[in-house]
Structure 1
């Protein structure tokens, strides 16, 4: 009987995991002997917008990169819809930090967006009219279609961020992972990005974003993950983004916008 119960519980866990866009267990990443992320368990819920919040150096970006396999963790497992991430990359779109990109690379805006279709294009990279139309549609969604032939390095920071979001849209993913998408962008770009992300959520897509602005967590996101090397808490914003838990995460005085 106990064996049957255990088998049933394992089956239920597997079924639940298969429905989750991202499921992380025991993830630990070290730089030398120092842990950047320590033993993190995390389940990202479907069709939700989730913020990863914590102080500088807390492991937010490291968590995303390790979950994707960009960084090799010391230990832990990450599943995407119940399958290993390496076999699920076609279901994931990743937008890196803008500061980590070489903007001097000689590429037009339309070419950058077409890079989001590389798995579909195959080894020969034959770009057809349908591919260009899709790329232009993605640029239109972020308000950048008129810049299609502009060199990417000639754009402002906010415009560059919109283009990389358009590239992610071209992948038509189920899970979108964004590393500081609002960092260093103008108000119009921030408004455009959050509008697109909400549209994706309405389409049933899941969004996870490393986020630094505590003042907008409650208005932008459904769920929040509080992290400072280890996970402090995670869950719906209303229950999780509390002064007590934020204070524990930041280890100091709370910003005034969430003290009330």
Structure 2
């Protein structure tokens, strides 16, 4: 019997059971200055599936992820992982930020970047051992970057840098992967490599949530979609929610030419 059913049977106030969701956001409001960037957002991510966060520029997509992770402080709201505060479970979460937000001039090698994904295991003083290097190299192999292990990160192309940051996320062996526009500014080969890795994670039972801007690839890449324009505009399986009507409402009639008619349900 679920917690909700037990509460109802005992005459107690019925509360929402979020124990099955790897990421549940409730009442999230974030403001930069006086104007809210996102307002009272509720989101419930389904386990073992891939979810796209979709909306126009300035809709608050990246802000929603950052608020859930505590990178930005919300005015109100909370983020839960299987019903418990996500802040206490960050060892189970991997985050890949926007590539544009990273200082690529920092002098470090590719292998060292991936090893950063093991910081919780290594700690501040623990020595990097052969098994750590082997694990990091395996993660680089998964993204096709094993031959670049000794290259300076700033010498790589944008697509290669994105693959390295995905490898760093893989090194964390997380249950929940949050990615902020992982396909932005990458070449077609890199996009295929990244989506193959993300789908493999899903097939392993992991949960993937990604801010995504290319509407044409949503039906092929994702199981679920979360539509946002400062507020929650829609959420659910792509086949049910990713419709032309829902997108027109989300984008306020500002869909670019050729973007309409690409949805799952028409």
Displacement after TM superposition at 1:122 (Å) = 1.4
Displacement after TM superposition at 1:76 (Å) = 0.4
Aligned equivalents of 2:198 and 2:260: distance in 1? 24
Displacement after TM superposition at 1:5 (Å) = 3.7
Aligned equivalents of 2:220 and 2:260: distance in 1? 12
Q: Is the 8 A contact 1:22 1:43 kept in 2?
A: yes
Aligned equivalents of 2:8 and 2:51: distance in 1? 37
Partner of 1:35: 36
TM-score by length of 1: 0.95
Partner of 1:209: 210
Aligned equivalents of 2:161 and 2:254: distance in 1? 35
Q: Is the 8 A contact 1:215 1:258 kept in 2?
A: no
Q: Give the 5 Å matches for 1:15-164.
A: 17-164=18-165
Size of the aligned set, in residue pairs, is 255
What's the Cα RMSD here? Answer: 1.4
Displacement after TM superposition at 1:6 (Å) = 3.2
Deviations 1:180-237 (A, max 9, x none): 0000000000000000000000000000000000010111000000000001000000
Aligned equivalents of 1:5 and 1:239: distance in 2? 35
Displacement after TM superposition at 1:54 (Å) = 0.4
Aligned equivalents of 1:39 and 1:165: distance in 2? 30
Partner of 1:183: 184
Aligned partner (choices 4, 10, 13) of residue 10 of structure 2: 4
* Structure 2 counterpart SS, 1:132: helix
Alpha-carbon distance change, 173 to 4 in structure 1, aligned in 2, over 3 angstroms: same
Structure 2: which 5+ residue stretches go unaligned?
A: 1-6
Displacement after TM superposition at 1:126 (Å) = 1.1
Runs of 4+ in 1 over 4 A off after TM superposition: none
Displacement after TM superposition at 1:86 (Å) = 1.2
Aligned equivalents of 2:39 and 2:230: distance in 1? 6
Alpha-carbon distance change, 2 to 236 in structure 1, aligned in 2, over 3 angstroms: closer
Displacement after TM superposition at 1:258 (Å) = 3.6
Displacement after TM superposition at 1:257 (Å) = 4.2
* Structure 1 counterpart SS, 2:28: strand
* Structure 1 counterpart SS, 2:108: coil
Partner of 2:249: 248
Residues 1:233 and 2:239 aligned together = no
Displacement after TM superposition at 1:256 (Å) = 2.7
TM-score by length of 2: 0.93
Deviations 1:24-74 (A, max 9, x none): 100000011101010001100001100000000000000000000000000
* Structure 1 counterpart SS, 2:10: helix
